[in-house]
Structure 1
Amino acid sequence: MMKLLQLLTFTIFFTSINNFAQTNIMVRAKAKDAKFIGTSIGGAKIIVREVLTKKILAQGVTTGSTGNSEKIMKQPKERYQDISDDNTAGFLAKLDIKQPVFVEVEAHAPINKSQAKVKSTTQLWVIPGKDIVGDGVVLEIPGFVIDIISPQTHERVPGEISTEIKANVVMMCGCPVEDGGMWDAAGFEIKAVIESEGFFKEIELNQTEKSSTFSGNIDLNKGNYTLTVYAFDPKTGNSGVDKTNIIIN
């Protein structure tokens, strides 16, 4: 009788599970030491796939705002307390599953910034009918987004004048990097490295009047040069790079 009761309970449990057709998983990508990656920077590409078969169960792009700065960056976080709200960027993955599935969740972010894009992954069991919402599954995206503004790629620059190097630097969520700001440029190393055969020089880039824009000047002789601009935060390990090539006439 006991075995029959156990079998009946087991059968009812899995019959109940098989009745569920859709399970919702909220997936978010959050910049390390910053906010969520959403519409303002193009979002994060999210892919949810079954680990064993590699079958894609859901995919899409995070949309929404970067979130509440006060809640994310300043207020102490208590256990079980969400740092997102209804407007915070995310992708709601809707999985059609009838039994527990072990999945891998990928975030590629920021999706529209190929030189800065990072892949972050995690794995977890998903149970039919057991939604994971609120903050949901949060994948951390480290780094900086850096765009060299000038000189442009393969630009021919006059050699008789000082060459200005200018770059835009933001967090991976698009949040501004500026002196005295929440992401204080004074605490970061933002530099340009200029290289050619037998030549190497590194210069510091300083903030211009425009937020997140940094520049410096260098005198260069005639030749072909590789230009690398990098940012590094010694407190968090965040780092980012952009590279190009220029010609000095």
Structure 2
Amino acid sequence: MRLFKSLICAAAILSSVHPAMAEPTKIEVRVIARGAKFLGGYTSPVRVTLSDADTGETLARGATSGSTGDTQRIMTNGKDSDGKRASADSAVFQTTLDIDRPRRVTVTVAGPLSQPQATTTASSTQWVLPGHDVTAGDGWLIELPGLIVDIADPIAYRWVKVGETVPLRVGVTMLCGCAILETGPWRSGDTEVEAFVTTNGKSLRRIPLRFEPSTAVFVANVPADEVGLYEVEVRGWMKASNNAGVARTAFFVH
């Protein structure tokens, strides 16, 4: 019994003299738009935060940087190569954690920060082991849903005369900024865009928008047939990917 206690004491002394050494552990975080491409630093930056899931301690923070990636490679899930969707220039957040024990790490992403009305968040938690990099394949891959809906006209709180027709022009893209066109991976025919207009807080009108190929925007006309405040909510919906987006504006009629 005494020998057993002595061994325990010796082990405790050795562990205090030689504590576990922290090991650098690389982590790559990529953020991909649902049904589309990576969210990059120059068009659609994404804030990335790594934290300890048990203590809440922030371990690293930054933003993705790089391009939206190779369309063919992404949309075929890398079937022509190694199954990896990311290419060398694809947007990524890279960091190195110095950890001396396994830690449950949560990654939280928010973006695209350049379009606040379209910003969404997502998070994921997994064990990270000292010295075992999370970099294989696409690394730690997080998906963000949504569409960017951006009202170009009318500008907010514009004044118009009663009896005029107000043109409504709306840009709609995938969350990565990828264009919606008549042909291609993201088609206007698969995208439903509608405006919901209220006058002085009542008289709700629902106005469908049509796609204008020459400018790649969705358009409609709003009759200004009553004096007051017109509030416009534009909703975008892409059924194939369950992506939605919303934008709002308002104008005055006098």
Give me the TM-score of the superposition, normalised by structure 1.
Answer: 0.88
Helix, strand or coil: the match of 1:66?
coil
Distance (Å, rounded) in 2 between the aligned partners of 1:185 and 1:129: 47
Structure 2 gap ranges (5+): 9-16
Residues 53-102 of structure 1 show CA distances to partners (whole Å, capped at 9, x for unaligned) of 11111111101111111111135649972111211101012112111110
Indicate which of 232, 235, 240 corresponds to 1:235.
240
Q: Which residue of 2 aligns with 1:12?
A: none
Residue aligning to 2:162: 159
Deviations 1:34-60 (A, max 9, x none): 000002323111000001111111111
Instruction: Classify the secondary structure of the residue corresponding to 1:41.
Output: coil
Asked if residue 190 in structure 1 is aligned to residue 190 in structure 2, the reply is no
1:145 aligns with 2:120: no
Q: Aligned-pair distance for 1:201?
A: 1.1
User: Closer, same or farther in 2 for the Cα pair 1:201/1:17, shift >3 Å?
Assistant: farther
8 A contact 1:40–1:174 mirrored in 2: no
The CA distance in 2 between the partners of 1:99 and 1:93, in whole Å, is 17
Between Structure 1 and Structure 2, how many residues are aligned? 238
Amino acid at match of 2:33: A
Structure 1 partner of 2:74: 72
Match of 1:202 in 2: 206
The code of the aligned residue for 2:58 comes to: I
Q: Distance in 2 between matches of 1:45 and 1:75?
A: 24
**Is 1:172 matched up with 2:175?**
yes
RMSD over aligned CA atoms reads 2.4
Separation in structure 1 between the aligned mates of residue 195 and residue 57 of structure 2, nearest angstrom: 43
What secondary structure, in the 3-state scheme, does the structure 2 residue paired with 1:132 have? coil
Instruction: Tell me how far apart the structure 2 counterparts of residues 29 and 107 of structure 1 sit (CA, whole Å).
Output: 8
One-letter amino acid of the structure 2 residue matched with residue 166 of structure 1: R
How far did residue 16 of structure 1 move? 11
Deviations 1:89-120 (A, max 9, x none): 01012112111110110110102211110011
Aligned residue in 2 for 1:246: 251
1:53-92 correspondence runs (5 A): 53-74=55-76, 77=79, 81-92=83-94
Report the equivalent of 1:43: 45
> How many percent of aligned residue pairs carry the same amino acid?
28
TM-score in terms of structure 2 length: 0.86
In structure 2, what is the Cα distance between the partners aligned to 1:34 and 1:17?
Answer: 47
Deviation by residue 1:211-246 (Cα, 9 ceiling, x = unmatched): 542111121222111101111012221000001221
